[in-house]
Amino acid sequence: MHTQQSVHAIVERQRAFFRTGKTLDVNFRIEQLKKLKQSVLDHREMLEKALYEDLNKSPIEAYLCDVGPVIVEVNEILHGLKRWARPERHFSGLMCFPSTLTTVYKMPYGVSLVISPFNFPILLTLGVLAASISGGNTAVLKTSSKSAASTEALKKLIADTFPPEYVTVVDGGHDVADMCLAERFDKIFYTGSPAVAKHVLSEAAKNLTSVALELGGETGNWCVVRKDADLKDAARKIAFFKLCNAGQICININQIAVAEEVAEPFLAALKAEFIRQIGEHAEENPEYPKLITEKVYEKCEKLTEQYRDRVVFGGTGNREAVKFSPTVLYPVGVDEDIVKHELFCPLLPVVPFRDSEVDTILSVIETREHPLSMYVFTSDKKWAKRVMSSLQFGGGCINEVCIHMMVKGVPFNGTGHSGMGAYHGEWGFREFTHPQTVLTGKTRLNLPLREHPYSGKAGEQKRKLLKWFER
């Protein structure tokens, strides 16, 4: 069991290690990233087994969504790190003459705290760790107590790979998380809910610690299906996505807005796809993931009963297995409470709208908290691009779901209630480094431009020179 004293000791040991300067060496970081990659490969079966125990993820889903993406992330960092970390040289400008050289160093923050969630406990711990290592930081990993098997696996993997003064796992509940937040870290990266994020920010503010947040979004992620969409294609992709991790994904579709002109054929296609991919009763399929706790199961059960007369697919569960089937609710009004908050489960409310009034739906989305993701299905690419470039959200897709976060070289992030900061690849390196600007001065040919006097003839001459330099 951790105490405030033991957590403090961990942080201080890491701070002492950071001050040795070892992590400043980019070759050292590359060596550690290679160790991390090899360790993930060596412990693959252990990680997949833990994910099965925690979330009933099959080995393929575990590798596809949790383990494999860590390897992809590390590979991208290894490919670009030397280039990203290289100091930038800049011409200082005439205003600084004769000091013409300015350098921007990409400096690590120091000791980082990574607080990871239960839903993708491997990826959202080790993927962020890779970014922290790339920036030259040490890391304390506070993993979720809800995914206990994955936490134990991560403890073994990290202990087998890194000394604790460099990287270590701290397990426990909210009390231990608060112990960590009470310490002075140099960088905090939190993945989870907006409610807890407010607490993290509040605690970090006491030490003015830089914070990155990746959140699911207060009011959930929308998917808009217009009447000109390829309905079968949309249904196929949406069904896959809602089945993935039983809907426990921060970028998953929380609710669908479908043009009422095509609502019936779309719903028929969606039902057919759920049945094709998982069977009519998903909770009986051994490949279907389970919910993380009985409390989440009870939430699904309670909401389903409230909407029982509008359940058009699913609505069944297996309490003993903690599995609840993908459940489609239709029709649901845009102002009903169920579409005003993140569900984070297999329930899928469907809101009908007249296609000619699509702007009304977009206005509603715009007035609510910024989602982490946004999805639109339509054959009108011009309209889709206009929407996706004008609404505020973390990221999204046109005629696709979720795979925007798999694209190399682009950031994954949220805005407002769906987060702040960004990572993946170079963006993660940037998140865990501070750009430090240093000008190299000259000892000769220095002009008296900045020095007194500022009045009289000398002042007028200086004003003329300043205006000339501004060009």
Residue 130: give its domain's CATH number.
Answer: 3.40.605.10
E strands, 175-300, are: 187-192, 210-215, 222-225, 255-259
The catalytic residue among 73, 214, 273, 283 is 214
Mean pLDDT of all residues belonging to the chain? 97
Residue with tokens 């706790």: 293
231 plus 155 within the same structural domain? no
279 plus 158 within the same structural domain? no
64 plus 187 within the same structural domain? yes
Q: Which pLDDT band holds residue 94 (cuts at 50, 70, 90)?
A: confident
Q: Which pLDDT band holds residue 447 (cuts at 50, 70, 90)?
A: confident
What residue numbers bound the domain in which 57 lies? 4-217+419-434
452 plus 364 within the same structural domain? no
pLDDT at 217: 84
337 plus 392 within the same structural domain? yes
- In sequence order, what are the residues at sequence separation of 6 or more whose Cβ sits closer than 8 angstroms to the Cβ of residue 354? 259, 260, 261
Q: Is the pLDDT confidence value at 469 over 90?
A: no
User: How far is it, in rounded angstroms, from Cα 109 to Cα 132?
Assistant: 9
CA nearest to 208, candidates 283, 274, 73, 109: 109
| Over residues 187-204, mean pLDDT | 97
103 plus 209 within the same structural domain? yes
Residues paired with 183 in a beta bridge: none
Q: What is the pLDDT of residues 308-361, one digit of tens each?
A: 999 999 999 999 999 999 999 999 999 999 999 999 999 999 999 999 999 999
153 plus 256 within the same structural domain? no
User: How far is it, in rounded angstroms, from Cα 122 to Cα 67?
Assistant: 6
CB crowding 273-293: b at 16 or more within 10 Å, else e? bbeebbeeebbebeebbbbbe
Helix (H, G, I), strand (E, B) or coil at 116: coil
Say whether 214 is catalytic.
yes
259 plus 116 within the same structural domain? no
Q: What is the pLDDT of residues 138-193, one digit of tens each?
A: 999 999 999 999 999 999 999 999 999 999 999 999 999 999 999 999 999 999 99
The catalytic residue among 65, 250, 345, 402 is 250
**Count of other CB atoms within 10 angstroms of residue 43:** 21
229 plus 329 within the same structural domain? yes
Say whether 223 is catalytic.
no
354 plus 465 within the same structural domain? no
User: How far is it, in rounded angstroms, from Cα 71 to Cα 220?
Assistant: 29
210 plus 227 within the same structural domain? no
The CATH number for 262's domain is: 3.40.309.10
